[in-house]
Amino acid sequence: MNDDPLWLAQTAFAALADLAFACTLGALLLAGWLSREQAFAPPSAVLPARQGCRRAARGGLIAAIVLVSCNFVSLWLQSAAMSGVPILQAGASLWLVATGTHVGIGWSVALAGSVLLLLAASGAPLSISRIVSTVLAALIVAAGKSAIGHAADAGAFSFAEGVQTLHLLATAAWGGIVIAGAFVLPALDTSVARAALIRTVARMSRAASLAVVLVVLTGVFNAWRGAAGSLATLTASTWGHALIVKIALVAAALAFGALNRWSALPRLQRSASTMDAHTVINVMRMEAVMMAGVFVAAAVLSHSVPGSALAG
pLDDT score at 307: 64
pLDDT score at 130: 83
**270, pLDDT greater than 90:** yes
Q: Which whole number is the average pLDDT over 103-127?
A: 89
Work out the pLDDT band at 110, boundaries 50, 70, 90. very high
pLDDT score at 254: 97
Q: Are 140 and 112 a contacting pair, CB within 8 Å?
A: yes
pLDDT score at 1: 56
Cα separation of 161 and 282, whole Å? 36
Poorest-pLDDT segment among 145-154, 277-286, 295-304: 145-154
164-213: pLDDT as tens digits: 999 999 999 999 999 999 999 999 988 888 989 999 999 999 999 999 99
- Residue range of the domain that includes 24: 5-310
**27, pLDDT greater than 90:** yes
> Which candidate, 126, 111, 307, 103, places its Cα nearest to that of 223?
307
**58, pLDDT greater than 90:** yes
pLDDT score at 238: 83
Tell me the three-class secondary structure of the chain, residue by residue. Answer: CCCCHHHHHHHHHHHHHHHHHHHHHHHHHHHHHHHHHHHHCCHHHHHHHHHHHHHHHHHHHHHHHHHHHHHHHHHHHHHHHHHCCCHHHHHHHHHHHHHHCHHHHHHHHHHHHHHHHHHHHCCCCCCHHHHHHHHHHHHHHHHHHHCCCHHHHHCCCCHHHHHHHHHHHHHHHHHHHHHHHHHHHHHHCCHHHHHHHHHHHHHHHHHHHHHHHHHHHHHHHHHHHHCCCCHHHHCCCHHHHHHHHHHHHHHHHHHHHHHHHHHHHHHHHHHCCHHHHHHHHHHHHHHHHHHHHHHHHHHHHHCCCCHHHHCC
**310, pLDDT greater than 80:** no
Mean pLDDT over the full length of the chain = 90
215-267: pLDDT as tens digits: 999 999 998 888 776 777 777 778 888 999 999 999 999 999 999 999 999 99
The length of the chain is: 312
- Percentage of the chain beyond pLDDT 70 is 95
Q: Which whole number is the average pLDDT over 51-65?
A: 94
Question: Domain with 225 in it: what CATH number?
Answer: 1.20.1630
pLDDT score at 41: 66
Work out the pLDDT band at 2, boundaries 50, 70, 90. low
**214, pLDDT greater than 70:** yes
**Domain total of the chain:** 1
pTM of the model: 0.93
pLDDT score at 308: 63
Cα separation of 186 and 274, whole Å? 12
- Percentage of the chain beyond pLDDT 90 is 64
pLDDT score at 237: 78
pLDDT score at 233: 74
